[in-house]
Chain A
């Protein structure tokens, strides 16, 4: 009983993440992989993502400080980042990554830097939202969160 409002809240939160374009279908794929055997799978993956991608973000930051910019290197780093982000369904982050790579391709330093700033914002925003989501989900219980999406 008490869970219902929480569940509703969770559902609503989840829906908004999709609606607002923070998450895409890939996130649903993750959810599907969550089961009794893997009750916290989604959270695990997301946690891992944030931990690992922090390193990439840092590298990108450093690379963007160099002058002149090494676009090829930047592109490579971003490629990795993009791959990771797409794995969890981070839609906006992924979009920024793509844009960033385009700028790299054309050697547009300013475009790269601008885009990267935007990317970091999206990255941070998503993280907060997902943290909230998972917190709520944990409160409700693994079974439920597993059943909920779909």
Chain B
């Protein structure tokens, strides 16, 4: 009777008091199991319903150390429960069954069970199950010891664009998820939801993010290490851990963007020049910029660059998210499409027109275009871009901060806007980052856009995280990030995957990408491994996007933006959420956006959104 009580301090007397959750629909077996476990001096909780078990586990992840579950249950398959527990709570799960078929046992293994016991279970077998918990604890300790390391490493080492990174990132994705979660809790990132807070959270505000991106840009995505970033940022109370975690997310974001960008390559190629234009658009104050954009290959904003071929942008714009639906379609954005870059301006102009004209949001508007681009299939998005410049530099992208605000909100309704803001972010050299959500940053903005981008991206990340498969969402955001990054470094030409970062530089700071981005990355990853790369936000650099753009010519074939790409990704943010979830003012918007996306996706639940904003 008292055995249970031992559980309370369990840890100290481990394995005594180890907290076990036993699930079995058969009451006889459950009673037996519970009694056996108590005899082993574990702290036991029993339930005959898998759903109840999950609920209990979800309520408090730290409430149990181990789960033992029957395989055959009426309300939920034991393997399914196993999966859920493994994914959500990452607790060791032992399967129990009267059937010892090799196939079933194998199934248990593949689903991640750490052991498979046959009924009737004997006490001797249960006396050793604590080893699974001990093993995991040990592993966790090792991981957390170097928790920060993997992140920066992955980012740095890979140089963001590297395929290796992808692999690494991919591999780490789950870890990262976990780590991120952990980090969030531990580092106090604001991404996390406060309930699990253990330390004061660091809120990656737009401003902070901007600084971050600036620092990263300054250092160069490859060389951006948390320590140096921290030094450059010079923010009190910011720990290296915070930065490291944020960096990781940023990288993911960039990766994603670059992935998109790469995919966009075709589009970019087509857009190629147009892209430049786009990017320029960001910086251009008015349409005039368009010209520049069109002509100059180097987006001076580079924002565009990062704006990966329409795809990315398109996504952002996609009316779905931006609400731009109304965007003038095809004609406008053509930017990307333009194949002949010569027309970028034209397109741009189209874009311009597109932009609803919110000045502040203009930029956003412009941005959305990019998103739209995608949607429109290049045409549209391009149009948007053009728009950006209209309002004024600020609006367009430069908005850096402003846009951000506008944008995010814009997102919801104004796809363009939303986009723009993002793009704005991009443009500014990331200063803007404000609009995290501005996925739009996609590249519109020249440097600022990047920032926005990042911001946008973050939003997306956030969304992404929800695991809801916001993939679509993730993608868009990533694009942004990528784009943003792009703007900075003008490297487009090298469509390298690693390049993506370039724009990134600008992103710095603004994008609280944090969760958003990461989520994006994650989501994207889902769709697309490319995004995976984005983790390196930093490294992602616009290039990726740019590259596609630069590639332009050749591949351009279909949509400039390569809507497919974007689509694949799931439309960076916008898509999923047709209206954007009214991003509340830049930061908020990102989050909202993210959340919106997530919701759409089904489920992020604020997971991500919270993060950056």
A residues apposed to B, CB below 8 Å: 26, 29-30, 32-33, 37-38, 41, 44-45, 48-49, 52-53, 76, 79-80, 82-84, 86-89
* Docked-complex contact B72 and A82, CB < 8 angstroms: no
Q: How far is the CB of B2 from chain A (nearest CB, A)?
A: 8
Q: How far is the CB of A9 from chain B (nearest CB, A)?
A: 27
B120 within 8 A of A: yes
B76 within 8 A of A: no
Q: Say whether, besides A33-B39, A37-B1, A45 and B98 are in contact (CB < 8 Å).
A: no
Across the interface, which residues of A come within 8 angstroms of B70, CB to CB? 83
Q: Say whether, besides A38-B35, A76-B72, A82-B98, A45 and B28 are in contact (CB < 8 Å).
A: yes
* Docked-complex contact B35 and A87, CB < 8 angstroms: no
* Docked-complex contact B32 and A87, CB < 8 angstroms: yes
B474 within 8 A of A: no
* Docked-complex contact B28 and A49, CB < 8 angstroms: yes
Q: Say whether, besides A26-B120, A33-B36, A38-B35, A83 and B29 are in contact (CB < 8 Å).
A: yes
A30 CA to B122 CA, complexed, in Å:
10
* Docked-complex contact B31 and A83, CB < 8 angstroms: no
* Docked-complex contact B72 and A48, CB < 8 angstroms: no
28 A-B residue pairs with Cβ-Cβ distance under 8 Å, sorted by A, are A26-B120, A29-B36, A29-B123, A30-B32, A32-B123, A33-B32, A38-B35, A44-B31, A48-B27, A48-B28, A52-B26, A53-B28, A76-B72, A79-B72, A79-B98, A79-B99, A83-B26, A83-B29, A83-B72, A83-B97, A83-B98, A84-B29, A86-B98, A86-B120, A87-B28, A87-B119, A88-B28, A89-B120
Which of B31, B119, B122 contacts A48, CB < 8 Å? B31
Across the interface, which residues of B come within 8 angstroms of A83, CB to CB? 26, 29, 70, 72, 97-98, 119-120
Cross-chain pair count, CB within 8 angstroms: 59
- The contact string, 1 if C-beta is below 8 Å from chain A, for chain B 343-386, is 00000000000000000000000000000000000000000000
Q: How far is the CB of B552 from chain A (nearest CB, A)?
A: 58
Across the interface, which residues of A come within 8 angstroms of B27, CB to CB? 48, 52
- The contact string, 1 if C-beta is below 8 Å from chain A, for chain B 57-93, is 0000000000000101000000000000000000000
Nearest 8 pairs between A and B by C-beta? A83-B98, A49-B28, A87-B120, A84-B28, A86-B120, A26-B120, A87-B29, A37-B1
A52 CA to B119 CA, complexed, in Å:
17
Across the interface, which residues of B come within 8 angstroms of A26, CB to CB? 120
Q: Say whether, besides A29-B120, A86-B98, A86-B119, A52 and B35 are in contact (CB < 8 Å).
A: no
Q: How far is the CB of A89 from chain B (nearest CB, A)?
A: 8
Residue of B26, B29, B98, B120 with most partner-chain A CB within 10 A: B120
B residues apposed to A, CB below 8 Å: 1-3, 26-29, 31-32, 35-36, 39, 70, 72, 97-99, 119-120, 122-123
A49 CA to B70 CA, complexed, in Å:
17
Q: How far is the CB of A99 from chain B (nearest CB, A)?
A: 15
Across the interface, which residues of B come within 8 angstroms of A33, CB to CB? 32, 35-36, 39, 123
Across the interface, which residues of A come within 8 angstroms of B99, CB to CB? 79
A87 CA to B1 CA, complexed, in Å:
22
Chain A residue with the shortest CB-CB distance to B98? A83
Chain A residue with the shortest CB-CB distance to B36? A33
Across the interface, which residues of A come within 8 angstroms of B32, CB to CB? 30, 33, 45, 87-88
Across the interface, which residues of A come within 8 angstroms of B2, CB to CB? 37
A33 CA to B123 CA, complexed, in Å:
9
Chain B residue with the shortest CB-CB distance to A85? B28
Q: How far is the CB of B498 from chain A (nearest CB, A)?
A: 54
Across the interface, which residues of A come within 8 angstroms of B31, CB to CB? 44-45, 48
Across the interface, which residues of B come within 8 angstroms of A76, CB to CB? 72
Q: How far is the CB of B464 from chain A (nearest CB, A)?
A: 39
Q: How far is the CB of A29 from chain B (nearest CB, A)?
A: 6
Q: How far is the CB of B41 from chain A (nearest CB, A)?
A: 12
Across the interface, which residues of A come within 8 angstroms of B98, CB to CB? 79, 82-83, 86
Chain A residue with the shortest CB-CB distance to B32? A87
A33-B32, A83-B29, A89-B120 known, 6 other contacts, Cβ within 8 Å: A29-B122, A33-B123, A37-B1, A76-B72, A80-B26, A88-B28
* Docked-complex contact A80 and B35, CB < 8 angstroms: no
Chain B residue with the shortest CB-CB distance to A24? B120
Chain A residue with the shortest CB-CB distance to B96? A83
Q: How far is the CB of B50 from chain A (nearest CB, A)?
A: 15
A76 CA to B72 CA, complexed, in Å:
9
Across the interface, which residues of A come within 8 angstroms of B97, CB to CB? 83
Which of A38, A45, A80 contacts B72, CB < 8 Å? A80
A32 CA to B122 CA, complexed, in Å:
11
Q: How far is the CB of A27 from chain B (nearest CB, A)?
A: 10
Chain B residue with the shortest CB-CB distance to A25? B122
A55 CA to B99 CA, complexed, in Å:
21
A45 CA to B29 CA, complexed, in Å:
9
Across the interface, which residues of B come within 8 angstroms of A52, CB to CB? 26-28
A26 CA to B28 CA, complexed, in Å:
13
Residue of A76, A83, A84, A88 with most partner-chain B CB within 10 A: A83
Q: How far is the CB of A77 from chain B (nearest CB, A)?
A: 10
Chain B residue with the shortest CB-CB distance to A38? B35
